[in-house]
Amino acid sequence: MTERHLTIQRQVAASCDSVWGLFADFPNLANHWDGLKASRPIGDQTHGVGARRQVDLVPVGSLVETVTAWEEGRTIATSNQPSALVPFKQAESRLTIEPNGDGTAITFDYQYVPKGGPIGRVTGPVIDRMLKTNFESMLASIGEAALNAG
């Protein structure tokens, strides 16, 4: 099955430090974005390469995310292991922030492999639209929370 790739970009008025502070609160993403039921740490490590969290998705399913790259103030990448209820086999993400004028440019790349063999080829575009909507919501919520916190 072919891997699928999405890139979502957003410019927010908040500073890089404010935006980074929210994303760097890695285990607690659900505190800043209502697109999740919950998120919580797995183990004692909450920052840097090797940190893990469980993310409970809306409406059903969950992911275990493990940080694979952490560049302080700039990048967090994860490897994502979905539960049986999530329509893909595996996924990886990379979030990058950088100063842009008076605000911050956020780029979120997501790569995943749909489940279902030939059926996955058909469902892939539907999953893409759902994920794109969710990721756009996440970036908007983080941008707003960072602006309010800053």
pLDDT at 88: 85
pLDDT band at 19 (very low <50, low <70, confident <90, very high): very high
Query: Rounded to an integer, what distance in angstroms lies between the CA atom of residue 128 and that of residue 5?
Result: 8
**pTM above threshold 0.95:** no
Residues 6+ apart with CB under 8 A from 33: 137, 138, 141, 142, 145
pLDDT higher at 124 or 67: 67
Positive or negative, the CA dihedral 124, 127, 129, 133 is negative
CATH: 3.30.530.20, 3.40.50.880, 2.30.30.100, 3.30.160.150. Which one for 4-149?
3.30.530.20
The predicted model gives 132-145 an average pLDDT of 95
Task: Dump pLDDT digits (tens) for 86-131.
Answer: 888 899 999 999 999 999 999 999 999 988 777 777 888 888 999 9
Query: Rounded to an integer, what distance in angstroms lies between the CA atom of residue 53 and that of residue 134?
Result: 18
pLDDT higher at 119 or 39: 39
Helix (H) or strand (E) holding 143: helix 118-149
Query: Rounded to an integer, what distance in angstroms lies between the CA atom of residue 90 and that of residue 70?
Result: 20
The predicted model gives 4-10 an average pLDDT of 97
The predicted model gives 14-42 an average pLDDT of 95
> Strands (DSSP E) along 13-149, which ranges?
36-41, 52-57, 62-71, 75-82, 88-100, 103-114
Instruction: Name 57's bridge partners.
Output: 36
The predicted model gives 10-28 an average pLDDT of 96
pLDDT at 1: 55
- Residue 27: asked if its preceding bond is cis (omega within 30°), the reply is no
